[in-house]
Amino acid sequence: MIELGWQDILLRLGIAALAGSAIGLNRDLQGKPIGLKTLGIVGLSTATVVVLAVQFAEPGKMTDATSRVIQGILTGIGFLGAGVIVHQRHGFRIRGLTSAACTFLAACVGIVCGVGQWNIVGIALALAFVLLTVGRLTERWLHQILGGKDDPHDDGPTQAAAPKRL
């Protein structure tokens, strides 16, 4: 059994909450339906459960119980992410997929924080922010070069915006 000290627990849970909050801040600044508090709580809650599971593991081993905890978290997070996706009646558009993916990422980062793998946390956050920062610009640029639609997220006018017939 691993006995984590208060400092290690605070570090793991604190970084998980901060990492989730940072991802949520990006979503919030983009005006998306999920934000700093929600994803901070996702990171904190997943790290909390993983730290608990790690406490009962043998040093240096991933037990079946820890593996099942992680599997359960990832299954449950799918439901939270699905709640972020909003279907619009007009235009058959699906919105919120990136925010749902960020919810899943915040959970995964929380799990990695719970295990204490800081290199993985840092690299995952760095890559996530690169994708979130330049992803849409890169999509638009590639669509223009490759002959796709100008805005890959624009499905044309919705019924509400369609011209009226006389």
pLDDT the model gives residue 125: 94
150: Cβ contacts below 8 Å, ≥ 6 apart:
140, 143, 144
pLDDT the model gives residue 40: 92
Among residues 44, 20, 29, 31, which one has the least CA distance to residue 102? 20
pLDDT the model gives residue 52: 84
pLDDT along the chain (166 residues), means of 10: 84 94 89 86 90 76 79 84 66 74 91 91 92 85 74 48 47
Q: Is the dihedral of CA 140, 145, 146, 148 positive or negative?
A: positive
pLDDT the model gives residue 160: 45
pLDDT the model gives residue 89: 57
Model pTM score: 0.70
pLDDT the model gives residue 91: 60
Write out the two tokens for 157: 């006018």
